[in-house]
Structure 1
């Protein structure tokens, strides 16, 4: 399913759904952050996605990380709740979703970076190299909050 992201865009369509989602900001022993390049947008992002019924938000973050990157991770902390009504995603099926993400902090405990149906690139990126990557502003905010130590973010 295709999607278009709108971020602080006055021409964005009005949201018609709000779906709980979780991200996992995985940091390795060198301080590098795990990113995936989304096939649907071409931008780099933290692994994450919609929460399934029957799982906790934290379980969702760990599952999405494994599915999207091939990395098995454990949660080490909580970054924050990101609920910007000026960030909406329009899907080709007519759903227009307002951002609602619980973002956790984690560390890798197994697996290898692996591409898949959702990601055509997966790698750990050192903080000094982040500007070389096309990262969506909402993801940059989350990574920036982590690097600045300004969490938990409850916006």
Structure 2
């Protein structure tokens, strides 16, 4: 299923759903951040996705990280709640979501970066290298909040 992201775009369609999702910003011992390149948008992002019934938001973040990157991680902190009504994601099936993400900070405990059906690239990226990557502004905000210590973000 394809998707189009709108970020502070007056031409964005009106949202028709609000789905809880979780992201995991995983940092290794070298200070590099785990990023995946999404197959549906081609942009680099933190691993994350929609929460399933029967799991907590933190469990969702850990599961999504493993599914999307091959890296097993554990939650070590809370980054924030990101619920920007000006960030809209339109899917080809007609669903139009307003962003709602609980973001956590994690540390790797196993696995290795692996591409899959959702990500065609998975890399550890040092903060000094981030400008070489096409990272969506919403992900840049989350990474920036982590790097500047501006968390928890409660928006």
Distance 1:143 1:115 in 2: 21
What residue number does 2:138 align with? 138
Which 4+ stretches in 1 moved above 3 angstroms? Answer: none
**Residue aligned with 2:116, SS:** coil
Secondary structure, aligned partner of 1:9: coil
- Residue in 2 aligned with 1:67? 67
Distance in 2 (CA, whole Å) between partners of 1:122 and 1:21 is 20
User: Residues of 2 paired with 1:9 and 1:117: CA distance?
Assistant: 29
Please give the alpha-carbon distance, in whole angstroms, between the structure 2 residues aligned to 1:130 and 1:92: 30
2-structure distance, mates of 1:31, 1:57: 24
Q: Which residue does 1:35 correspond to in 2?
A: 35
Taking the aligned partners of 2:96 and 2:146, their CA distance within structure 1 comes to 28
Gaps of 5+ in 2: none
CA distance in 1, matches of 2:91, 2:132: 28
TM-score, scaled relative to structure 2:
1.00
Query: What does residue 104 of structure 2 align with?
Result: 104
In structure 1, distance between residues paired with 2:62 and 2:39: 20
> What aligned pairs does 1:1-155 form with structure 2 within 5 A after superposition?
1-155=1-155
Question: In structure 1, how many angstroms separate the alpha carbons of the residues matched to 2:93 and 2:114?
Answer: 28
Matched residue SS, 1:76: strand
Once the two structures are superposed, residues 33-80 of structure 1 have per-residue CA deviations (whole angstroms, 9 ceiling, x without a partner) of 000000000000000000000000000000000000000000000000
Q: Tell me how far 1:15 sits from its aligned partner.
A: 0.2
Matched residue SS, 2:80: strand
Tell me the CA shift for residue 147 of structure 1: 0.1
Cα distance in 2 for residues equivalent to 1:2 and 1:150: 33
Shift of residue 101, structure 1, vs aligned partner: 0.1
Q: Report Cα offsets for 1:103-136 as digits up to 9, x if no partner.
A: 0000000000000000000010000000000000
